[in-house]
Structure 1
Amino acid sequence: MMLKAEKAPTRSKYFVICLVAFAMITTGYLLYKPLPDGFTVTKWDRVVMHIAEPALRVAYYYPSRMFSKASSMVQWTRGALNILSKTLGLLVNTHGQIEIKWHSWNGTPVKVYRPKNNKTSTDGAVIFIHGGGFALGNVDMYDSLVERMAYDMKTLFISIEYRLSPETVFPGGILDCESAIEYFFKYGEAQFGINTSKIVVMGDSAGGNLATVIAQRRADRKASPTLAGQVLIYPLLQMADMQTISYRYFFSRLSGYALVDPESVAYYYMFYAGINMDEKSYLVPSVMSNGHVASHLQEEIDEMMKYENVIESTRQYKNHTIPDRWGVLPNYEAQRLMEPFLTNPDFSPLMRKDLSTLPPTMVLTCEFDILRDEGIIYAHRLEEAGVPTTLINYENGFHAMLNFHSELHEASKSVDDIESWTLAIINGANEN
């Protein structure tokens, strides 16, 4: 009897193990989507993304599509990304050499990353503004990235916790960032021993939008001291043309992946504009076709976007067939709601006409990113305006890859490029 009693749980255990293994293999098979040719640069990177991308789909992409309210989608995605972000950047080791403290500057929370005992290699500083479509993300999600850069560069970094939409709409995030930055310009020298003429502003995605809006507004009002430079990492710069070639490539090859997608851009940008997307979600299909653009704005938009014609003829995604522009679905309600924003440079900084007074700029774009083209267009327009501009398009990169800076070769390389350029700008300011 004892023999039978011992064998029964053993058979049960093996059955459970086989069942779990079968479930895992089946789930993996169902979730598997082959990555496009050229997506990531090494075999290791490709393995990592074949694991990470399906995990992102399961954690937030699929569940977020199940909510009837767009605001619930935002809340779920916030929570999922906050949890997932804690699994990234674990390989970063700054050997306890970075002191990290929260402060409140003019009512805006900021986190300061400072080399211990103020052992900095420069007397400059970097102000970092995180991304997330104006609705997602926070300072803590970017901790490992900002701490790494502060350690590598031995330079003071400031990361700003601006308020998010839909709770706080345009221009709330801008005002939060400006409020903190003004405090830093006023007290930075006394409090941290930095030279306020050697400050670089940096941001990714929507943070890139905020960074360049702040740079533009400071240049417009001739604020002193001027910024030493700006780093725009796959920046979100406009929503007047959602049929650029990089948008159209998404629909032909990247649809269904847990990457930044046109629908999300439409939702988040419209939330930022103060539109209640719980009630107005029916506008999104029209917006994705450019049906939200009033005809009398089109000439001005076309002028700002004209370099897209060059991109159309020179960048073809390794000869992958790109769909032609599809028919516009005009929606007069969407046009009325979005008219105050589409050509407003504080909302869509690509639409600013005069860029000649902006500081030296680095623009990073990624091949597998719907925002690639607007970043390239902005870099071209800056260069055309006489602004010293460095554009790097990462041929194997994708949107938000810097969040994988310690896991992926391409992402780590981009951090090295950013650090080198930023130090050169700060040290160049030393000489002036």
Structure 2
Amino acid sequence: MMLKAEKKPIRVKYIVICVATVLLLTTGFALYKPLPEGFTVSKWDRTVMHVVEPALRVAYYYPSRMFSKASNMVYWTRGALNILSKSLGLLVNTQGQIEIKWHDWNGTPVKVYRPINNETSTDGAVLFIHGGGFALGNVEMYDSLVERMAYEMKTLFVSIEYRLSPETVFPGGIQDCEAAIEYFFEFGNAKFGVNTSKVVIMGDSAGGNLATVIAQRRAARNASPELAGQVLIYPLLQMADMQTVSYRYFHSRLNGYALVDPESVAYYYMFYAGIDMDEKAYLVPSVISNGHVAKHLQPEVEKMMSYKTVIEATRRYNNHSISERWEIEKNYEAQDLMEPFLTNPDFSPLMREDLSNLPPTMVITCEFDILRDEGLIYAQRLEAAGVPTTAINYENGFHAMLNFHSELHEASKSVEDIEQWTLNAINER
């Protein structure tokens, strides 16, 4: 009888293991989506992304599509990414050589990353503005990236905690960043020993938008001191043309992946514009077809997007079939709501006509990113305006890959490229 009693728990254990294995395999099969050819550069990177990308879909992409209100979609995504980000960058080890402190500069919280005992390789600094579509992200999410760069460059970094939409709309984020930056230019030398003529501004995605806008506004008013440089990492620069090749490639090959998608850009940009997307979500389909661009704005948009035809003729995703531009679904309500913003360079910095007085610039773009083309266009316009410009398009990269800087070789390489360019920009002043 004892022998029979012992066999029952063992059988139950094996049954549980078998069921769990089947469920795991079934879930993995259901979530599996083959990555596009060329997505990430090494076998290790592809393996990591075959795990990470489905996990992101489960954590935020699928759940966020279940909400009836767009604002709830934002809040869920914000919370999910905040939690997931804590599992990234764990391999970063700065050996206790970076002092990190919060400050309040003119009402804007900032986090300062300073080499211990101020043992810097330069007397310059970097102002970092995080991304997240103006609605997501925070300083903590980029903690490991900024701390790594501060350590490897032996340079002081300032990461700015600007307010997010939909709670704070345009131009609130710009004002927060400028308030902190003005404080730094006034007191940076006295408090940190920084030569304020050796300051580089840096931002990714929406943070790249804010960095671009701030650099443009300073140049337009001949603000002193001049920036030593700007680093724009897959920047979000416009929403007047959402049918570029990189947008159309997403629709034809990347739809359904947990990557930045056209609908999200429309939602986040319109929230940033102060439009209640809980009430106006029905406008999104027309926006992603360019139906939100009023006829009288189209000539100005085409002028500012002047290098679009060159890019569309030369960058074809390894001859992958790209759909032709589809029919525009005009929506006069969307046109009226977006008219004050689409050609406003403080909102869409690609629309600023005069780029001649801007600091040396590095523009980072990624092949598998809907924002690729606008970054490439901006880089070419900067070069045409006489601005010293370094443009790197990572052929195997994707939007937000720097958040995986310690997990992916491609992302780590891009960080090294950024660090070297930034140090050169600082040292050349």
**TM-score category, normalised to shorter length:** over 0.9
Deviation at 1:7, TM superposition (A): 1.4
Separation of aligned partners in 1, 2:92 and 2:205: 22
Tell me the SS of whatever aligns to 1:66: coil
Q: Give the gaps of 5 or more residues in structure 2.
A: none
Q: CA deviation at 1:10?
A: 1.0
Distance, in Å, in 2 between the alignment partners of 1:416 and 1:29 is 36
Question: What is the CA-CA distance between 1:338 and the residue it aligns to?
Answer: 0.1
Give the 5 Å matches for 1:79-228. 79-228=79-228
What is the CA deviation profile of residues 390-424 of structure 1, one whole-angstrom value per residue up to 9, with x for unaligned ones? 00000000000000000101100000000000000
Cα separation, 1, equivalents of 2:362 and 2:111: 24
Cα deviation, 1:271-310, whole Å, max 9, x if unaligned, reads 0000000000000000000000000000000000020100
Shift of 1:9: 1.2
Structure 2 residue 70 is the aligned partner of structure 1 residue 70: yes
Counterpart residue identity of residue 47, structure 1 = T
Question: Which residue does the alignment assign to 2:271?
Answer: 271
Deviation at 1:361, TM superposition (A): 0.2
Counterpart of 1:223, as a letter, is A
Question: Where does residue 15 of structure 2 map in the other structure?
Answer: 15
Q: Give the Cα–Cα distance (whole angstroms) in 2 for the partners of residues 422 and 56 of structure 1.
A: 31
The alignment status of 1:234 with 2:234, answered yes or no, reads yes
Distance in 1 between residues matched to 2:423 and 2:299, nearest whole Å: 40
Q: Which residue of 1 aligns with 2:54?
A: 54
| Pairing 1:363–2:363 present | yes
Aligned residue in 1 for 2:305:
305
Q: Indicate the SS of the match to 2:428.
A: helix
Kindly provide the CA deviation profile for residues 26-46 of structure 1, in whole angstroms up to 9, marking residues without a partner as x: 000000000000000000000
2:411 maps to which residue? Answer: 411
Correspondence for 1:337 = 337
> Within 5 Å, which residues of 2 pair with 1:348-427?
348-427=348-427
The CA deviation at 1:312 is 1.1
Q: How many residues align?
A: 429
Question: 2 CA distance for matches of 1:36 and 1:85?
Answer: 24
Query: How far apart, in 2, do the equivalents of 1:56 and 1:113 lie?
Result: 29
The Cα of 1:163 is off from its aligned counterpart by 0.1
Q: Distance in 2 between matches of 1:294 and 1:266?
A: 16
Paired position in structure 2 for 1:284: 284
* TM score, norm. by length of structure 1: 0.99
Cα distance, 1:8 vs. partner? 1.1
**How far apart are the structure 2 equivalents of 1:342 and 1:425?**
32
> % of aligned pairs identical?
82
Matches of 2:147 and 2:377, distance apart in 1: 31
Structure 1 CA distance, aligned partners of 2:301 and 2:212?
Answer: 18
Secondary structure of the residue aligned to 2:145 is helix
Q: CA deviation at 1:6?
A: 1.7
Q: SS at the partner of 2:298? A: helix
**Partner Cα distance (2:144, 2:254) in 1:** 28
Q: Deviations over 1:185-222 (max 9, x none)?
A: 00000000000000000000000000010000011111
Deviations 1:144-186 (A, max 9, x none): 0000000000000000000000000000000000000000000
1:309-328 alignment to 2 at 5 Å?
309-328=309-328
Cα distance in 2, alignment partners of residues 14 and 224 from structure 1: 72
Distance 2:5 2:121 in 1: 70
Q: CA deviation at 1:3?
A: 2.0
Please state how far the C-alpha of 1:4 moved relative to its aligned partner: 2.1
Q: Residue deviations 1:51-103, cap 9 Å, x none?
A: 00000000000000000000000000011000100111011100010000000
- Deviation of 1:261 after TM superposition, in Å, equals 0.1
CA offsets per residue over residues 316-357 of structure 1, 9 Å max, x none? Answer: 100001000000000000000000000000000000000000
The separation in 2 between residues aligned to 1:21 and 1:171, in whole angstroms, is 51
Q: What is the rounded CA distance, in whole Å, between the counterparts of 2:22 and 2:99 in structure 1?
A: 47
Paired AA for residue 34 in structure 2: P
Separation (CA, whole Å) in 1 of partners of 2:290 and 2:2: 74
Offset of residue 2 of structure 1: 2.3
| CA shift digits 1:364-413 (9 cap, x unpaired) | 00000000000000000000000000000000000000000001011000
The one-letter amino acid of 2:96's match is G
2-structure distance, mates of 1:286, 1:107:
38
SS for the counterpart of 1:191 is helix
The code of the aligned residue for 1:42 comes to: S
Q: Report the Cα distance in structure 2 between the residues aligned to 1:10 and 1:346, rounded to whole angstroms.
A: 67
- TM-aligned CA deviation for residue 110 of structure 1: 0.2
Give the distance between the partners of 1:214 and 1:306, measured in 2 at CA: 23
State the alpha-carbon separation in 1 of the partners of residues 97 and 292 from structure 2: 50
Structure 1: segments with no counterpart, 5+ residues: none
Supply the AA of the counterpart residue of 1:284.
V
- AA aligned to 1:197 is S
Deviation at 1:113, TM superposition (A): 0.2
- Provide the secondary structure at the position in 1 that maps to 2:381: helix
Provide the C-alpha distance between the structure 2 equivalents of 1:23 and 1:117, rounded to a whole number of angstroms: 54
Q: Secondary structure of 2:253's match? A: helix
**C-alpha deviation, 1:138, in angstroms:** 0.2
RMSD, matched Cα: 0.4
**Aligned partners of 1:7, 1:66: CA distance in 2, in Å?**
45
- Please give the alpha-carbon distance, in whole angstroms, between the structure 2 residues aligned to 1:6 and 1:96: 54
Structure-1 separation of matches of 2:182 and 2:2? 78
- Counterparts of 2:393 and 2:34 in 1: how far apart (Å)? 23
* CA distance in structure 1 between the aligned counterparts of 2:152 and 2:20, rounded to whole angstroms: 44
SS in 2 for 1:126: strand
